[in-house]
Amino acid sequence: MSVGKGRGKSILFGEHFVVYGIPSLAAGIDAVTIAHVSRGKSLGWTLDDQRPAVPGYKEKKMDEQKESINNVLNFLDIDTSKNGIHIEYGGDLICASGFGASAASCVSLARALSEEFNLGLSDEKVNEAAYEGEKGYHGTPSGLDNTASTYGGLVWYIRDLEGGPPKFKPIKLKEPVNLVIASTGITASTTEVVGDVRAKKDANPEWFEKISKEYENLVHEALTSLENQDLVKVGQLMNRNHELLQDITVSCKELDDLVKIARDNGALGAKMTGTGRGGNMIAITVDESARDTVAKALEEGGAAFVIKTTFGA
């Protein structure tokens, strides 16, 4: 039996805009999905999915998951009509929109397959295999989630719109930043939400261009502020990024309510993260004690669950 791991992630800046080649910043989080791959008793592949999940998530994603596993197998040239395999998913990453659970499963699978079939995949190849897997979940992924999941840490990521390799670089901060992640418990379809944004952009390109330009300036400022450890500024930029995401209609009442609770209880900044219309919000705080206060307020204020973590160091 072989084992592979993929990290969860949280997008700090740039969900949706990253799809159009604008820079983004994402942080790998500690929670992981672990894949175990063994030779199957029959031909084809079988799956035992033991990952913790919010109600409805696995059912909603089941067809996409099948396509994704087939994509990873095809990319790695593994023909299960000759070598049957059994896949088991576990780990502590909760399957809920916003954590990059689909990307983490693809990365963990590619790593376990590499070990089982002696493929010797580099991280770069694992990332490419996971990107193919992500296409099963949403036709035109930016590649940000699988990159954050493969490499962990904080990454600055730009998609190549011509289909070439993305540009990304790891960012190391002087001090880790305290982060709270709160889930609405609502499972969103990335394909649907990304498709809807694209339709709105196509219907009104000038409107989208104006918002994108502001976002692009904002993300450069966010990188500088993070590097200077100016967390007050980072928080302000997160708040503004949330408003831009509201403008492109990917937030929702549940996310806005959690964002408000976090800000009212001392967060330096808060925003939705990931696909939106459900999924997660994130908030940064000045220290651990402020993080505990914000996390408690979010738990009491109706979040499905809350995670306290750090990023950047």
Residue 132 binding ligand MEV, by CB under 6 A: no
Locus of tokens 């400022």: 221
State the minimum distance, in angstroms, from the CB of residue 48 to ligand MEV.
25
**Helix 123-137 × helix 144-151 angle, to 10°:** 140
Considering only residues 23-42, where is the footprint of ligand MEV by CB under 6 A? none
- CA dist 68 and 136 (Å) reads 4
Choice from 7, 16, 61, 263 touching ligand MEV (CB under 6 A)? 16
User: How is residue 249 annotated by DSSP?
Assistant: T
Strands 24-39 and 2-13, bridge-based pairing: antiparallel
CB contact burial 33-66 (16+ within 10 A = b; e otherwise): bbbbbeeeeeeebeeebebebbeebbeebeebbe
DSSP structure string for 43-109: SSEEEEE---B-TTHHHHHHHHHHHHHHHHHHHTT--TTTS-EEEEEEES--B-TTS-HHHHHHHHH
- CA dist 109 and 123 (Å) reads 13
State the minimum distance, in angstroms, from the CB of residue 45 to ligand MEV.
25
For ligand MEV, the closer CB: 45 or 156: 156
Considering only residues 267-306, where is the footprint of ligand MEV by CB under 6 A? 274-275
For ligand MEV, the closer CB: 100 or 231: 100
Piece of 10-18, 33-41, 88-96, 303-311 that binds ligand MEV (CB under 6 A): 10-18
State the minimum distance, in angstroms, from the CB of residue 25 to ligand MEV.
12
Site size toward ligand MEV (CB under 6 A) is 12
- What are the structure tokens assigned to 312, written together? 């950047």
Residue 19 binding ligand MEV, by CB under 6 A: yes
Distances, alpha carbon 197 to alpha carbons 202, 219, 239, 249, 251, in Å: 9, 19, 20, 8, 12
Residue 18 binding ligand MEV, by CB under 6 A: yes
Binding-residue pattern over the window 210 to 249 for ligand MEV, x denoting contact by CB under 6 A: ----------------------------------------
CB atoms within 10 A of CB 142: 27
Residue 190 binding ligand MEV, by CB under 6 A: yes
- CA dist 204 and 258 (Å) reads 30
Contact present, 136 and 68 (Cβ < 8 Å): yes
Residue nearest to ligand MEV (CB): 142
Residue 188 binding ligand MEV, by CB under 6 A: no
Choice from 12, 13, 15, 179 touching ligand MEV (CB under 6 A)? 15
H/E stretch holding 265 reads none
Piece of 15-23, 27-35, 221-229, 260-268 that binds ligand MEV (CB under 6 A): 15-23
Three-class SS state of 272: strand
Considering only residues 133-162, where is the footprint of ligand MEV by CB under 6 A? 141-142, 144-145
* Exposed/middle/buried for residue 217 (C-beta within 10 Å: 0-12, 13-18, 19+): exposed
State the minimum distance, in angstroms, from the CB of residue 191 to ligand MEV.
9
For ligand MEV, the closer CB: 18 or 297: 18
Residue 7 binding ligand MEV, by CB under 6 A: no
State the minimum distance, in angstroms, from the CB of residue 143 to ligand MEV.
7
For ligand MEV, the closer CB: 15 or 128: 15
- Which residues in this chain contact ligand MEV in the complex, by CB under 6 A? 15-16, 18-19, 141-142, 144-145, 190, 194, 274-275
